[in-house]
Structure 1
């Protein structure tokens, strides 16, 4: 993991905007949260399809990640309800948002190019044209009650090999390097009108395209632009992060082994697993998931 640039203050509520190069960018993003964010307040906006994956999807529901249907008439009240829930808890989330809406592939690039032709915009090679509606709405809402202090622009790049999707991960094609370039923008320095925020997001994406052109066309490193030096984790928390990683490796290895053994040999554990699965399926069917059940229970059905 290689980090350059300047992250925002971890004590503030924030929106993190990142280009969506692969389907697994959100997973690699946790390395940023571990080093520069507050991982207990980190939330990710994901496709609604992922929330019902047994195990990981249920865990993300319990953590109140935001799962969108990519239909604004459905997503707008959902976002409002979750942000209201956070506001009532006096909770300042750090929310990762992919304004492009999907990962970069030949198919999605062709769609982005078609949109650019219709709107008389430049065609991009390394990013897709962002959809600004969700970002503008979330920024306006979070400024009112979720402690939005800054917007952090993160550019992610893979200089050697790509892990485009889950099958690559299973096959062992894990990226040898992942580069993150971070630029923090205090909300006080932005034009916070709807048009101003939309134009700013478009401007950031144009800069991101140029940054990635220089990255892939040159030395495959991001230029360090801030005056405080490289924010590499080697400067501060290497030992602590390594301990986290080894602990996670040990825990999840033994957790998986123990789960398989107990499912095979313990009828009590099989009943426990069945009941847990049944509860999550029922809550998902009746309440659209544990995340919405929690928010509705705290807020009521009204959306403000």
Structure 2
């Protein structure tokens, strides 16, 4: 839409497959640009994004490169030029929990690269500074190929980031073309016509949604009260319980335990 060329290489996505996506970050915008990639493989509507809890209070990334170098010095690791050292605690926790419930089919390791300009924040996008080109290299690892112990899984994740560093070094130091060498472009499972229709409908909906809400708030007192009550409830649950995700997890645990409790009563 804004003249951004997206090139996807490596392994194909499997529509409907349950996977964890891990990716290096060059900018705060990476996860938004990834939507271009996921939409073409029927993944976007199913995507869930995991963030650190602290980002709810302090959004953004403060001096990430310096913290990555400090982490490397503390743990006797090499300093990276093109990636940050991964913090593996969250990764191993998510993988272990999903694997315990038999809800994980694969890990998709994605390397993102910007051969030209790299907008760092929303401010750059508002100025019209969109990346001319984005490359996503996808490597799919079936869950059966991953180690089972926490320590080995952490080492596995660090190994992937070592590979990313070398892959990106070759990418950016290439003499002629910016390209992940030896990798073919993945054909999308959705046609460009279908993608165009989805984009058109999305733009139309979100263009009309905001002014329609403002108009309803201006015209109807009932709508104003609805928004006020909703905001109050949202702020209170955040302060009292810590977020909607905490309430959702508590409800899940309660419903998950209910059949077990009923079977105990019947006995």
Structure 1 length-normalised TM: 0.74
- Quote the residue 1:277 is aligned against: 231
Give the SS at the match of 1:43. Answer: coil
- Quote the residue 1:118 is aligned against: 74
- Quote the residue 2:123 is aligned against: 167
User: Which of 208, 214, 224 matches 1:260?
Assistant: 214
- Quote the residue 2:9 is aligned against: 4
Structure 1 residues 129 and 141: alpha-carbon distance in aligned structure 2, compared to 1, 3 A threshold: same
Matches within 5 A, 1:1-304: 1-48=6-53, 107-218=63-174, 219-225=177-183, 229-233=184-188, 236-300=190-254
Structure 1 residues 164 and 182: alpha-carbon distance in aligned structure 2, compared to 1, 3 A threshold: same
Cα distance in 1 for residues equivalent to 2:40 and 2:91: 24
Cα distance in 2 for residues equivalent to 1:281 and 1:112: 34
Cα distance in 2 for residues equivalent to 1:10 and 1:198: 27
Say which is worse superposed, 15-24 or 276-285, in terms of deviation: 276-285
Q: How many residues align?
A: 249
Deviation per residue, 1:84-113 (Å, 9 max, x gap): xxxxxxxxxxxxxxxxxx85x8x3222222
Deviation per residue, 1:22-47 (Å, 9 max, x gap): 11212222222212253333111124
Give the SS at the match of 2:77. Answer: coil
Contact 1:2 1:232 (8 Å CA) reproduced: no
Structure 1 residues 231 and 138: alpha-carbon distance in aligned structure 2, compared to 1, 3 A threshold: same
Shift of 1:287: 2.5
Say which is worse superposed, 41-50 or 190-199, in terms of deviation: 41-50
Cα distance in 2 for residues equivalent to 1:291 and 1:120: 36
Structure 1 residues 147 and 8: alpha-carbon distance in aligned structure 2, compared to 1, 3 A threshold: farther
Contact 1:155 1:208 (8 Å CA) reproduced: yes
Give the SS at the match of 1:178. Answer: strand
Unaligned runs of 5+ in 2: 1-5, 258-267
RMSD (Å) for aligned C-alpha atoms: 2.6
